Amino acid sequence: MSAAIRSLAEDWLAQDPDAETREELVRLLVADEAGDAEASAELEDRFGSRLAFGTAGLRGAIAAGSNRMNRVLVSQAAVGLAEHLLARGTGRPVVVIGYDGRKNSRIFAEDSAALMAGAGVDAVLLPRLLPTPVLAFAVRHLRADAGVMVTASHNPPQDNGYKVYLGGADDGSQIVPPVDGEIAERILDVARTRRVTDLPRGEYRTADESVVTAYIDATAGVGRQSTPLRVVYTAMHGVGWETAHRVLSAADFDEPLVVVEQIDPDPAFPTVAFPNPEEEGALDLAFATARTGRADLIVANDPDADRFAAAIPDASAPEGFRRLTGNEVGALLGWRAAERARAEG
């Protein structure tokens, strides 16, 4: 391993607030000194580059290093985003921060809130782990300047990520060029010029339940049940069930059947190889539940509940149900929106 990489790793170690990643990095450095080629290669991979911040924010494996997701990288991202918003000069920005049930999601969110507050931002943390759509809604509902969702969506369990949404005229949408590049430059400036241990922390607010209730009411208002349906729902070991259940109840849908093995948040995603409901095999337990319950419809979310899959009975399909394609789901949603708009004049 080069002297430059070792210097980067040692500097990282000096500012890492997390005991787990510090211990992990110490083991690698000791192994490298002992001549372990695998440890040297691992350090080169972790510190030879940096996770790129783009329109999807950050996403990568949780571990020490600039090319991994960890508290140092998240801290730099939080302050970089805060300074980007402050540079716009439109008063004190408001940022809403949410998190899912993945490993370290909550601590990444709490670090972000405290560091943004320390940078001069009015930081608002959502009250508990919640779906990504609730965060996007909260940006609009609270008239925030931006939102952050700590999640790696449907990535494997070893990953986590950092999505950024913009408020105002962008209305809670994910960032697009050139804003992603501008934020990335701010993050790099923080990484080059300051240590995480020196970054000020401040007091942040925690949003109350009214934000979640407003989301439930708004979503349930999109469409009420008009025909009795036996629905099977799976959260794919993510955070979707509580919110989905409340939305369905508020919209007068019958109580859904649930895939019990997948209904509670579990960052290990133990029953699926890849927690994406559109992947082959991911809905096997849902198919079994639907066959037993003679369901009319299967509805599935990914772990942060921003991805939706559906399946319908089909006697010709091997499982007795056919998963709709993304185009089919999109066409149905578009048709429903058009019908609603026509009915409302």
Q: What is the mean pLDDT of residues 144-156?
A: 97
Chain Cα centroid distance, residue 318: 33
29 CB burial (10 A radius; 0-12, 13-18, 19+): middle
User: Which one is predicted more confidently, 173 or 263?
Assistant: 263
Predicted confidence (pLDDT) at residue 171 exceeds the cutoff of 80:
no
What is 221-343's CATH number, 1.10.10.10, 3.60.20.10, 3.40.50.720, 3.40.120.10? 3.40.120.10
Average pLDDT value over all residues in the chain: 96
pLDDT band at 86 (very low <50, low <70, confident <90, very high): very high
pLDDT band at 107 (very low <50, low <70, confident <90, very high): very high
Q: What is the pLDDT of residue 223?
A: 81
Q: Are 212 and 266 a contacting pair, CB within 8 Å? A: no
Q: What is the mean pLDDT of residues 212-237?
A: 93
Least confident of 112-116, 130-134, 165-169, 282-286: 165-169
Residues 6+ positions from 335 with CB-CB distance below 8 Å: none
Strands 231-234 and 297-301: parallel
Predicted confidence (pLDDT) at residue 27 exceeds the cutoff of 70:
yes
Domain positions in the chain: 1-48, 51-208, 221-343
Q: What is the pLDDT of residue 227?
A: 85
Q: Is 153 a catalytic residue?
A: yes
Q: What is the pLDDT of residue 169?
A: 65
pLDDT band at 170 (very low <50, low <70, confident <90, very high): low
**Residue holding tokens 């990282």?**
12
Predicted confidence (pLDDT) at residue 173 exceeds the cutoff of 90:
no
CA atoms within 13 A on the CB side of 321: 27
The span from the CA of 311 to the CA of 323, in Å, is: 4
Q: What is the pLDDT of residue 48?
A: 97
pLDDT band at 37 (very low <50, low <70, confident <90, very high): very high
Question: With respect to CATH, is domain 51-208 assigned 3.40.50.2300?
Answer: no
Least confident of 111-115, 221-225, 260-264: 221-225
φ, ψ for residue 124, nearest 5 deg: -125, 120
What are the structure tokens assigned to 273, written together? 């190889």
The span from the CA of 93 to the CA of 148, in Å, is: 13
CB-CB neighbours of 185 under 10 Å = 12
Q: What is the pLDDT of residue 162?
A: 98
Predicted confidence (pLDDT) at residue 128 exceeds the cutoff of 90:
yes
Q: Are 56 and 174 a contacting pair, CB within 8 Å? A: yes
* Equal CATH topology for 51-208 and 221-343: yes
pTM for this entry:
0.95
Catalytic member of 66, 105, 153, 173: 153
List pLDDT tens digits, range 95-104. 999 999 999 9
Chain Cα centroid distance, residue 1: 34
* Residues above pLDDT 90, as percent of the chain: 90
List pLDDT tens digits, range 39-73. 999 999 999 999 999 999 999 999 999 999 999 99
Which among 13-17, 86-90, 219-223 has the top mean pLDDT? 13-17
Q: What is the pLDDT of residue 343?
A: 84
Residue type, 336: R
Q: What is the mean pLDDT of residues 280-301?
A: 97
Residue type, 320: G
